[in-house]
Amino acid sequence: MSPGSSLPPPGSGGSVDGDGSGGGPLLALLAKALELWLRQQCQEIDRLEIQLEGSAARLLRGQLEGARLWARRVVFQDLRFESVELRGEAIRLQVGLALRGQAGLLREPFRVRGQIYLSGEDLNRSLGSAQWRQLGDNLAEELLGVSPLVRVRILDRLLLLSAPSAGSDRPIEVAVTLTAAGGTIVLQTQKEGPTYRVPMDPAIRIERAELEAGTLLLEGEALVQP
């Protein structure tokens, strides 16, 4: 799904696709519970669509066979995303608690795979937030030799980083390439200059990182904790 893919209008709730095994009404209730849980985890979600897979018999035992999620304009822990597409399988739920709207929706951790898209503005606002400003300054220090980071731009397949220049009103700017390696994002200045490996949460593994048409695409997997 590209960032421009269509999603249901805000407030339309979760969309449920069963597997033909008779889980429809229960899936619909669980989709609502999952939507509520997701919105509680995130600071913002503009549009959200959820598709669940499972039979009534398995759901009553707390076993969900699969789930897909599409979301637009998401803010999670001060990180901003233009769009998110995720798929999880073999999810175990606390069905009774979920249907009563109580906490504790997930019974155990589960893995999701998917893609996220960030615009240049998403990167600017994320790295300018209190939680992630140090990461932005570390990027500038390692790749430009000076900090703080004052601006990030995406130009074709390059990321442009800017930092203040001593004695000049014009900032220092460097173009870097961006790839995925060893489960994280690796940035390198052109002509084989300095390299910076983004510190990554052990629960997240990045397998693909690309810049194109003003957008950063990240693809990989993550372990979701209850």
Domain ranges of the chain: 24-108, 121-224
Q: Looking at per-residue confidence, does 110 or 26 come out higher?
A: 110
- The rounded distance, in Å, linking the Cα atoms of 48 and 71 is 4
Backbone angles phi, psi at 193, to 5 degrees: -85, -155
Q: Looking at per-residue confidence, does 32 or 77 come out higher?
A: 77
Rounded percentage of the chain residues whose pLDDT exceeds 70? 85
Residue 102 has a pLDDT of 56
DSSP state of 20: S
Half-sphere exposure of 144 (CA within 13 A, CB side): 26
- The rounded distance, in Å, linking the Cα atoms of 180 and 193 is 17
Q: What average pLDDT is seen over the chain? A: 85
Residue 10 has a pLDDT of 35
3-state SS track over 83-94 = EEEEEEEEEEEC
Rounded percentage of the chain residues whose pLDDT exceeds 90? 58
Residue 32 has a pLDDT of 85
Q: Which tens digit of pLDDT belongs to each residue from 149-202?
A: 999 999 989 999 999 988 788 899 999 999 999 999 999 998 778 999 999 999
- The rounded distance, in Å, linking the Cα atoms of 91 and 109 is 8
